[in-house]
Structure 1
């Protein structure tokens, strides 16, 4: 009994590549996967609004904060670290938007007949790898959620200790952030932005790792197919020898062997493309 058979007892059957659909769903609902949009024009407007809300406002306030406090190294570094983090996140989003056709092509490949023809035959392998992708996504989102929630409690701790009001993230704002309700609204905005960005950032990362998991799954299936060719030939050799003789066996079996190998070669090329 191999590892896939052992795990199959514990893992519930699930559709192939479900982990990819989970990541894409998050990216889509946050406005960065237009391939699923029915009304592209409206969705593009939603994308622009999402970018402004999640990145534009925050990065603008941080950049202005650095300019206003130029020369004060301590205050500048507090904002620069966040600018670097948000810049990396922005680069991921821009890549998703600009290369959505290439990503869609990769997703479409995972739904082709070549990738799914052996799903029933190797159901335990497909189920194992799909759940691995989902478990990885859940774990990653859980860690991110705990970190963001802990970070978001910073203003509450300041208030409990009766200290001065302190925003979770530094930034310049064209109003007095220490007054009520400006402080509360700004804190809420920052928490929503960071929490949502964390979920989306992880979804983008797990989309990439999910494609790697899918490739690993297909390589495992390819390995099993290549390894099973000899066994299949030997089995058919016995059947054909008993019924038709060696002459018929040589022609038919080796034709089947050729077709199986040709399929494996095509499968291998598609995986590495």
Structure 2
């Protein structure tokens, strides 16, 4: 790679950012939310597609309190919608910090060398694969959810995808068709907004992983016979500090989001599993719930996997430093290296409001809690 040519970190998440922008969640360039048409569009999206749907569903809950099946069928989607609204609030609140993170990616310390691109590219490609898999999973969920009322009900019944109360008769035309379209549009908007916010968070964790790999490679290749050992060590220390700043800022942004995500996902998955016990197997509605459960599990796994990899990559720094030509360093240089090793002894952990760490162990424990089968012991 030409020294004058910067590595474009944002190229990996460009489709993700484009989705967020079209959904009204990401102002263009380095701008924040201002009094302009884009902000007005975002407000209209939220009022028409999110808040109105939540209000109509909440009202409907009071009419289904004595029906457990209808109540769970209503609440699990309602929780998804409320969770999106919470995510949006945190994203808007932290937009200046997120824009700064995107700008930090262009920092010269974050730039990989030509040989290091080979190291980090598989990580970026893996994120792209997860992003695509999540898009496909959510798309099937939206598809099944949108068509099952049509396939599983008669023309006279005229079921809607969502159980909601409306101040008009939804059984007659064109009220039924317009309400149906509104619910589908609302669900598509919320689902793909969820998807892109979640994958954006995992992209931040992927960037942190890549930076730790770059730092480890730089440490391993510090040779004692070079004249600029002090400069390279100082650069590695500064690079480590910048990575920690990037990781801390990222975690501050999504800490509360993941906390609410895990608590709501546990409730949603439990209620969806309950719905699977009351619907007819292998019907369109059955596949709808199966797709929904799958999407929730993938969502939780995605957070845990990428968070776990940050911890693993950060724990490699002391070993990389030890793998350098440190035995030939002068005492002052060894002290500088020891300073970096000491600072990196505690691995970086991404957490959900410091309640639990994002690790594969957390994912397994979460799945065990949700598993309907108990050990016989």
TM-score category, normalised to shorter length: 0.7 to 0.9
Separation of aligned partners in 2, 1:72 and 1:156: 23
d(CA) in 1 for partners of 2:179, 2:210: 45
CA contact (8 A) 1:122 1:221 kept: yes
Task: Decide which of 93, 108, 126 is 2:120's aligned counterpart.
Answer: 126
The 5 Å alignment of 1:62-141 reads 62-116=57-111, 118-141=112-135
- RMSD between superposed Cα atoms in Å: 2.2
Question: Secondary structure in 1 aligned to 2:128?
Answer: helix
Which has more radius of gyration?
1
Moved more, 69-78 or 134-143: 69-78
Equivalent residue for 1:172, pick from 156, 162, 165: 165
Q: What's the counterpart of residue 218 of structure 1?
A: 211
Asked if the contact 2:215/2:236 (under 8 Å) is kept, the reply is yes
TM norm structure 2: 0.59
- Aligned equivalent of 2:53: 58
| 1:168–1:187 CA contact under 8 A, matched in 2 | yes
Displacement of 1:270: 0.7
Structure 2: which 5+ residue stretches go unaligned? 1-6, 246-377
Which SS does the other structure have where 1:229 is aligned? coil
TM-score calculated relative to the size of structure 1: 0.79
Cα-to-partner distance string for 1:221-253 (whole Å, 9 max, x where unaligned) = 1111101113xx4xxx4xxxxxxxxxxxxxxx3
Give the Cα–Cα distance (whole angstroms) in 1 for the partners of residues 206 and 33 of structure 2.
32
Q: CA 1:164 to 1:133, structure 2 compared with 1: closer, same or farther past 3 Å?
A: same
* Higher percent of residues as helix: 1
Question: Which position in structure 2 is the counterpart of 1:269?
Answer: 241
Q: Which has the higher contact order (CA 8 A, sep 6+)?
A: 1
The size of the alignment, in residue pairs, is 237
| SS of residue in 1 equivalent to 2:24 | coil
- Given candidates 158, 172, 190, the residue that maps to 2:152 is 158
Counterpart secondary structure, 2:221: helix
Q: Which among 26, 29, 37 is matched to residue 33 of structure 1?
A: 26
The answer on 1:187 being equivalent to 2:159 is no
Change (3 A) 1:187 1:154: same
